[in-house]
Amino acid sequence: MGERPISIVKRLAVTRLVAIAILSARVARMLPLALGIAVVLDRRRSRSTCGPGQAGRGPRPTSKIWSTPPTRTAKKSVCLGFCSWKITPRGSAQCSLLTKEMIRQRRDLFSGALTGIVCAGLGCMRLERIVAVKTAEDAGLDVARQSPFSPPTLVAGLLADNIDVHDPTLTQDELEIYFSSQTNGLFDIWTSTRTLANPTFASPTLVSELSSPGNDLDPDVSLDGLVLYFSSDRSGMGYRLYVSRRSARDQPWGAAQEMSGLGTSTLDMGPTVDPTGLMMVFASERDQVPLGLYTATRSDPLGAWQAVRALSEINSVRQDENPALFGDGLSLFWSSRGPSDGSTSDLFETARPTPSLPFSANVTPADSLNSPTDWEGDPWLSQDGRHILFVSDRVTGVSRIYEAWR
């Protein structure tokens, strides 16, 4: 007698389960794997009809197919997990457990189930990995944000104590610093280096190749020390943002180029660019007075900026400036006169879950760094958010660079 094939309804149901398993792998961790396993368990129940020698796998079928047992010993073969019985030539033809069509259908069924499990498993593994990595990064930054900074200490070795300095920025190894200070009434960009053996910076030197007849300030150096963003009024059209590049750390900086795509403004200052070079935050007076924070993005680190928008979620009614991105562009420090109603400038911090989302409006003041009556601003932070440089005029009334850790 011929074997009855699996019903079309059952095959459609199994196919639906497999499809759900594959699609769900992207949005759930354990559900797709459970669906795949359910299909296999259903297949294992079907194996209970495999006949002689399958003790403990279910009741013996009552189908007439087993009415005439094999006349000789049958030997089991396994094909992709299926049981079939190869009957010796003298065995009854009616004793075949599975017809070729049934084997093909069950092989298709098992392949579909196996595909569901593999896709679900890979989806779960990938999602688990992303969630684990993201959780670790966020946990580290959250701990940093919740921890107060140590008492600030003066950064030694930079110009004389009676000379104002501003806008510190470090390379990733923290061995090279840039800052701005006035020379003959105009701001210029200065630099200094140090070694691992000697943490004190050497006497700074003027970055002459970036100096102009105007004011050059607000430097922001890339992590690798090969790109420098800054603000300048050299064009005579107000303060605009510029960029300079060099081929190696021991080479001079190239000619500064004005950043394109930022629109018209007579006051753009304090650029800070994320490690990818694709997202920037800066201060501007273009839409509001006084200064407010803006962001811009681009698709190519060498291309023009675009999609400029105000960070209205954190801008106050007073002056917001001196932004500093860290944590791969997910966290932001800046200075604001808003909370003090313009009487002084303090440091604040916020964050966001992804670069495509706005920063949280729930900003946190850096209470361990801010002083009640002194000016604090010009922050720079390491990418892990645990080391900060900033400027304050505390103690002497002269703006000096301080640092702290958390």
pLDDT of residue 94: 42
pLDDT of residue 287: 76
- In this structure, the answer to whether residues 219 and 94 fall within a common structural domain is no
pLDDT of residue 210: 98
Q: Is the dihedral of CA 312, 314, 317, 322 positive or negative?
A: negative
Low-confidence winner among 144-148, 365-369, 378-382 (lowest mean pLDDT)? 144-148
Structural domain contains residue 161: yes
Residues 106, 49 contacting (CB under 8 angstroms):
no
- In this structure, the answer to whether residues 120 and 199 fall within a common structural domain is no
Residue 64 has pLDDT above 70, yes or no: no
pLDDT of residue 393: 96
Q: Which domain holds residue 246?
A: 147-405
pLDDT of residue 318: 85
- In this structure, the answer to whether residues 48 and 104 fall within a common structural domain is yes
Last residue of a domain, one of 139, 166, 197: 139
- In this structure, the answer to whether residues 89 and 166 fall within a common structural domain is no
- In this structure, the answer to whether residues 399 and 269 fall within a common structural domain is yes
Strands (DSSP E) contained in 10-139 are 75-79, 82-86
Across the range 17-34, mean pLDDT stands at 46
To the nearest whole number, what is the mean pLDDT of the chain?
77
| Distance in angstroms (rounded) separating the CA atoms of residues 289 and 352 | 26
pLDDT of residue 361: 96
- In this structure, the answer to whether residues 135 and 152 fall within a common structural domain is no
Residue 87 has pLDDT above 50, yes or no: no
Going by the DSSP 8-state scheme, the letter that residue 395 receives in this structure is T
Number of separate domains in the chain: 2
pLDDT of residue 264: 85
Structural domain contains residue 162: yes
- Bridge partners (DSSP) listed for residue 283: 269, 293
- In this structure, the answer to whether residues 257 and 373 fall within a common structural domain is yes
| Distance in angstroms (rounded) separating the CA atoms of residues 391 and 400 | 5
- In this structure, the answer to whether residues 160 and 275 fall within a common structural domain is yes
The count of other CB atoms within 10 Å of the CB of residue 11 is: 15
User: CB-side exposure of 190: number of CA atoms within 13 Å?
Assistant: 22
Residues 380, 390 contacting (CB under 8 angstroms):
yes
pLDDT band at 31 (very low <50, low <70, confident <90, very high): very low
Last residue of a domain, one of 80, 113, 139: 139
Across the range 377-398, mean pLDDT stands at 97
**Nearest C-alpha neighbor of 256 from the set 285, 297, 214:** 214
For position 197, which CATH number holds?
A: 2.120.10.30
pLDDT of residue 181: 98
The encoded tokens of residue 319 equal 């002056």
- In this structure, the answer to whether residues 87 and 134 fall within a common structural domain is yes
In degrees rounded to 5, what are phi and psi of residue 228? Answer: -130, 120
Last residue of a domain, one of 139, 170, 194: 139
- In this structure, the answer to whether residues 127 and 163 fall within a common structural domain is no
Structural domain contains residue 44: yes
- In this structure, the answer to whether residues 42 and 74 fall within a common structural domain is yes
Residue 95 has pLDDT above 90, yes or no: no
Structural domain contains residue 307: yes
Predicted confidence (pLDDT) per residue in 331-353, tens digit? 999 999 987 777 789 999 999 99
Greater model confidence, 109 or 317: 317
Structural domain contains residue 375: yes
Residue 356 has pLDDT above 80, yes or no: yes
Across the range 290-315, mean pLDDT stands at 95
Structural domain contains residue 3: no
Residue 224 has pLDDT above 90, yes or no: yes
pLDDT of residue 147: 87
Structural domain contains residue 238: yes
pLDDT of residue 89: 43
- In this structure, the answer to whether residues 174 and 130 fall within a common structural domain is no
Structural domain contains residue 1: no
pLDDT of residue 12: 46
Residue 184 has pLDDT above 50, yes or no: yes
In degrees rounded to 5, what are phi and psi of residue 37? Answer: -65, -35
Predicted confidence (pLDDT) per residue in 240-298, tens digit? 999 999 999 999 999 999 999 999 888 999 999 999 999 999 999 987 667 899 999 99
pLDDT of residue 290: 78
Residue 60 has pLDDT above 80, yes or no: no
